[in-house]
Structure 1
Amino acid sequence: MQTSRKWMFACLCMLMVVLTACGGGTGGQSASGNGTADAAPTAAAAGTEGSSDTQTSGEPVKVVWWHAMSGELGTVVDGLVKQFNESQDEVEVEAVFQGTYDESLNKLKTAMGSGTGPTMIQTYEIGSRFMIDSGAITPMQQFIDAESYDVSNLEENILGYYTFDDRLYSMPFNTSNPILYYNKDAFKAAGLDPENPPKTYEEVAEAAKTLTKDGMTGGSFAIYGWFMEQLTANQGAELLNHSNGRDGMADEALLGQPAIVNTLEWWKKMVDDGVMLNLGRKTDDTKKAFAAGQIAMTLDSTASLRGIVKAAEGKFEVGTAPLPKPTEADAGKGGVVVGGASLWILNDRPEEEQQAAWKFIKYLAEPATQAQWHVNTGYFPITKEAYNEDLVKENLEKYPQFQTAIDQLHNSELTPATKGAVMGVFPEARQLTETAIEEALTGTASPQEALDRASAEITQKIQDYNSTVAQ
């Protein structure tokens, strides 16, 4: 049976590689109920010491880390790896850039079972369901339990995404959420209070109307599935059945529900009224338009904050605000879902390699390391004590706009909605959501029609996926 399931999952991996290349408990089976993540034997939970072979050889244990951080982010990664390697002589980490998140995950799928994969890999949050179902990982919880590692200093709202059935499967690494960016100078010129940004859908629409003049349009939101996911969670609504796939594996998408349809209708009306530009799917395009003063408001990741503020220097002051929600939405209901990626340890590597990877992961979670990571990238520290580091305090003085992101994270109550949806076909689902948004904004279909069609297609893909990992 196990061999059959491994074969079926291998077939699924190959199918998902092709699809991605072409396009970019109670109600069901629980996140760990299929037994795959725990089925592969590992001695990682037996203790915290490395292999005696390592001590005999005197050579450091080599850890290969596949990541998807390019450009300046990659430079920061290399710097942290260099610091770790120089801080001790038991472990040597080699960081290897593997392209985008999609490209990196596809390479892992190809390497599974061949012995050519890495010791650990950085995988985006929407790949979590696949990673668990693959049977290729050692849950982080095993290392935590083996040495009673204290996770109380880690951000609960970040851990929540990667925790299933009270078990942490991967360690958060780079974490962000979306916020509203706005041009304070434009607000002042239009007679709006730059210190009182819009908080509701209705206030955003009204501000966009007021700001649209003299060659400037009120705003623009990139057609990005992540934004729709966030606006949905901010209302306390769920994308999938079975509590967003956290109370058993989801088998139905819920995109046609009122919370999502109303959001798309609000977005479309602003576009139709000419107070919101449709600049397509690339967030880079909305960032450029914002920096150029073409638009006065936009949505983007907290990880983009430094770049957005820098691009506006000498031109206008950037303000930040939490994600808006409908006026009728309960102010205390809902919140943001963390985005970004986490670190997974592969179970086909020797015990000493897994233990070495765990040692490096603990180093990355230390307050001083997290302070460096946060200040140099804009991603959240995953460790609460990092905010006590002078480096972080000084950075917050320089970029006070980031306080919005911190407050938004901490004000989000952990629920199935804010923990985030989990499904094995999330990348494909996000693309289908973006197609639905595009159809609605361009008038090809009504918001309800577009979302119903996307929901049906996503549901079918989820069910096809689930059939390959079912017991």
Structure 2
Amino acid sequence: MGKKGLTGLVMALIMIFLVACSVNMGESGDKKPEPAKPGAAPASGPKKVVFWHAMGGANTKVVEQMVNDYNGSQDKIKVEAIYQGSYDDLLSKLKASMGTSEGPTVVQMYEIGSRFMIDSKAITPMQNFIDLDKWDASQLEPNISGYYTLGGKLYSMPFNTSNPILYYNKDLFKAAGLDPAKPPKTYDELKAAADAITKSGKATGANFAIYGWFMEQLMANQGAEFVNNGNGRTSMATESQLNSEAGVKVLTWWKDLVDTKAANNLGRKTDDSKKAFSAGQVGMILESTASLKGLVDSAAGKFEVGTSYLPKPADAKEGGVVVGGASLWMMNNRPDDEQKAAWDFIKFLTSSKVQAYWHVNTGYFPISKKAYDEDIVKENLKKFPQFQTAIDQLHQTKLNTATQGAVMGVFPEARQIVEGAIEEVLNSKKSPKEALDAAAKEITSKIQLYNKTVK
């Protein structure tokens, strides 16, 4: 290929992914990732490891505390944690650093960036370090590590992990003549409960924010894959399956809830949905498990918050939830001894005590199974018993290609397309099938263009 042809190919790839998250493929070329070599000569003083993350607000302090604890536990490695803004901001900055020496050693990346990170050829798979160190990966929650595993290889280490659950107002349930100890499990049961709450005149029955993640979850809960080729896991995805029977069933149900005033439509912002729930204006919402502590705290003194599994059709195939959140990726342009030092830090983060601290202070799942044996986790469950729902839902999910979650290079953009389709349906501009057919066609086109640029 000539120089102009190669330049055009690289620029096409950059433009595809930048549409959604402002990142390019860097200049790492086809360099094969190698594991850090044991016994590499250390530089004078502690080995520096740069960790870029996107944990803002109160979570920034939690990250900083874990880093400080690690740095204080030994004197050979010093980790510097740098907050880079939102996930998209971080991804944009990572793009700018690729091909330079200014980037991180370890970077946090949201789950929908996984396909891109692999295709970038800029990372060293975590599996390399696991194999070299004979580290026991069975200590990880399989339904969490499963997302980041392709072809039997764990590419990144799970970090902050959540999944969606149903939150409901027990007081509104009682006022509507419903049993607060028996939350709805199916679409029909949720519709009946929402109708009863709306008819009570005290609140609207339900609200679901227009969030593409929810559509992915509601399909996986029916055992349905979001894209073809084993959800992009047996080979690279080439087509969206958004318009499958499962997808149409979700959107038909959702549309009926809004049309019958059993639910309302507050738009795309999940914060608006949470605020309406906390104010007692809606009886049920779908939201991340990471929001549990905040929702329970905001309802204190006003009403009791209940939690239940993500609903599904009564005749749904076996399914479950897909983990959301982000994971840690090792950049392969850093020296071997620096990568080895970063691996030591990552192992520290996976320990049961650190994972217990992370879970209790952020609301994210521990990725280590043994973390649930820690006293602070047990005490936290007594304070927030609603979180048991999230734990049980995660553990009862059967890991398969549907519940592992989809992987595709244009995932951020696909979510935006899905949200546009949901809006069209809820605003009565298109039928569920029409909107999902059009969205699937558009996503498929973008997937196929992306695939051409990475072959």
Verify: 1:463 aligned to 2:448, yes or no.
yes
Change (3 A) 1:262 1:43: closer
Which secondary structure does the structure 2 equivalent of 1:130 belong to?
Answer: helix
Contact kept in structure 2, 1:183 and 1:319, CA below 8 Å: yes
The aligned residue for residue 407 of structure 2 is 422
Partner of 2:316: 329
Q: Report if the CA contact (8 A) 1:13-1:109 is conserved.
A: no
Q: In the alignment, residue 128 of structure 2 is paired with which amino acid? A: Q
Determine if contact 2:110/2:327 at 8 Å carries over to the other structure.
Answer: yes
Q: Given the alignment of the two structures, is residue 273 of structure 1 paired with residue 260 of structure 2, yes or no? A: yes
Say if 2:419 is the partner of 1:434: yes
Moved more, 356-365 or 37-46: 37-46
Aligned to 2:185: 199
Change beyond 3 A, Cα 1:242–1:104:
same
Query: How far apart are residue 245 of structure 1 and its match?
Result: 0.4
Does structure 1 retain, via aligned residues, the 8 Å contact 2:158–2:367? yes
Q: Which runs of 5+ in 2 are unaligned?
A: none
Q: Following TM superposition, by how much is the alpha carbon of 1:154 offset from its aligned partner in structure 2, in angstroms?
A: 0.7
Residue of structure 2 equivalent to 1:91: 77
Within the candidate set 131, 147, 166, 1:180 is matched to 166
* Corresponding residue of 1:396: 381
1:11 aligns with 2:8: no
User: 1:129 pairs with 102, 115, 135, which one?
Assistant: 115
Contact preservation (8 Å) 1:425, 1:462:
yes
- 2:391 alignment partner in structure 1: 406
- Contact 1:45 1:145 (C-alpha < 8 Å) held by counterparts: no
CA-CA distance at 1:11 after TM superposition: 2.2
- What is the CA deviation profile of residues 398-442 of structure 1, one whole-angstrom value per residue up to 9, with x for unaligned ones? 000000000000101111000000000000000000000010000
- Normalised to the residue count of structure 1, the TM-score between the two structures is 0.92
Amino acid at match of 1:214: G
Mapped partners of 1:442, 1:431: distance in 2? 16
Q: Percent identity?
A: 60
| Number of the residue aligned with 1:63 | 49
Deviations along 1:20-46, whole A, 9 cap, x unmatched? Answer: 369xxxxxxxxxxxxx99952455254
Matched AA of 1:14: I
Give the 3 Å change call, closer, same or farther, for CA 328–195 of structure 1 in structure 2. same
2:31 paired with 1:40:
yes
Corresponding residue for residue 318 of structure 1:
305
- Equivalence for 1:53: 42
Number of residue pairs matched?
A: 451
Change beyond 3 A, Cα 1:372–1:250: same
4+ runs of 1 displaced by more than 4 Å?
1-10, 36-39
For structure 1, the residue ranges without an aligned partner over 5 or more in a row are 23-35
Q: Kindly indicate whether the alpha-carbon contact (under 8 Å) linking 2:36 and 2:339 is maintained by their aligned counterparts in 1.
A: no
Per-residue deviation, 1:9: 6.8
- Residues 157-236 of structure 1: matches in 2 within 5 Å? 157-212=143-198, 213-236=200-223
Alpha-carbon deviation of 1:53? 3.3
1:320 and 1:2 mapped to 2: Cα distance? 59
> Do structure 1's residue 359 and structure 2's residue 341 form an aligned pair?
no
Q: Contact conserved, 1:240 with 1:421, CA < 8 A, in 2?
A: yes
**Aligned with residue 232 of structure 2, among 245, 248, 258:** 245
Specify the code of the residue in structure 1 equivalent to 2:20: T
Matched, 1:113 2:99: yes
Task: Please point out which of 260, 263, 269 is paired with 2:247.
Answer: 260
Partner SS, residue 328 of structure 1: coil
Deviations 1:312-350 (A, max 9, x none): 0000000000000001114xx000000000000000011
Selected match of 1:305 from 292, 295, 300 = 292
Superposed CA offset, 1:184-203 (max 9, x none): 11111111010100000000
Counterpart CA distance in 1 for 2:243 and 2:18 is 28
**Structure 1 residue 106 displacement after superposition:** 1.6
Residue 135 of structure 2: aligned partner: 149
| Distance apart, 1:455 and its partner CA | 0.3
Secondary structure (helix, strand or coil) at the match of 1:152 reads helix
Q: Which residue of 1 aligns with 2:20?
A: 20
Give per-residue Cα distances to partners, 1:154-204, cap 9 Å, x unaligned.
101111000000000000000000000000111111110101000000000
Query: What whole-Å deviation, never above 9, does each CA across 1:242-284 have from its counterpart, x for those lacking one?
Result: 0100010000001111111011010000101111010000110
TM (norm. structure 2) is 0.96
